[in-house]
Amino acid sequence: MSNLKNLSELYKANKLQLGYIDVYEKYFDNIKDKELKILEIGIDKGPSLKVWSEYFKNSKIVGLDIKPVKLDIKNVELFFGDQTDTKFLSKIVNKYKYFDIIIDDGSHISKHIIKSFNFLFDYLSDGGMYFVEDLHYSYYPRYGGSRLNLNKNGTSMNFLKSLADSLNYENFDRPFYKKNKFNGKINNINFYQNICVVSKNPSKIYLYKEKPKASIFEKIKKLISRLF
């Protein structure tokens, strides 16, 4: 049995009821037999880890949760700690070096999602995919969101939406622009209902080549030109 829907039904993984399995099948069907490294944040009692274990038979899977749980699942290693603790996360990436798939189904708190993403993105392989589940929590005040102010700073949704600018960074023609760590490293971002996937790959330079660092005089000229 390798079909994701069948496996999700077998192990009672709620990703099926939430509609995420349809999304995952689009991305995983062609790579399920590869030797991958997969990290899932938030494992509960392990239903999704059981799904991944059977679906990605040739892969190494890491499960991370803040609450210890006893599980013995083939090709799965468990770590227990805080997803925002970079020292703890460093122990994992020091062992595995990189991951091809990262799934955040952890606390759902916006600041936790953002901190984990900022740290783990560096350890996502080129061609790798980073999934963030349950984005409806982004609108709950107790999770750092707002039902009224959809542009509230610091929500997981607005953080992910801001990454879209990194797709187009070569078009940034702003005075004193400072490139961030994501620019040129994301080649697509896809939003589905309550789930998002960020795909890492060097973006292509279609319109502009990288230029030498501009002098302060050139920056001032560019700033002044914006006023006319």
Which domains does the chain carry? 4-225 (3.40.50.150)
Query: Which residues fall within 8 angstroms of residue 56, CB to CB, at 6 or more apart?
Result: 28, 32, 36, 38, 75
Q: Are 204 and 28 in contact (CB under 8 A)?
A: no
Tens of pLDDT along the chain (228 residues) come to: 569 999 999 999 999 999 999 999 999 999 999 999 999 999 999 999 999 999 999 999 999 999 999 999 999 999 999 999 999 999 999 999 999 999 999 999 999 999 999 999 999 999 999 999 999 999 999 999 999 999 999 999 999 999 998 888 877 766 667 778 999 899 999 999 999 999 999 888 777 665 656 677 666 666 665 555
How far apart are the C-alpha atoms of 203 and 122, rounded to whole Å? 15
Residues annotated as catalytic are: 108
Its pTM stands at 0.89
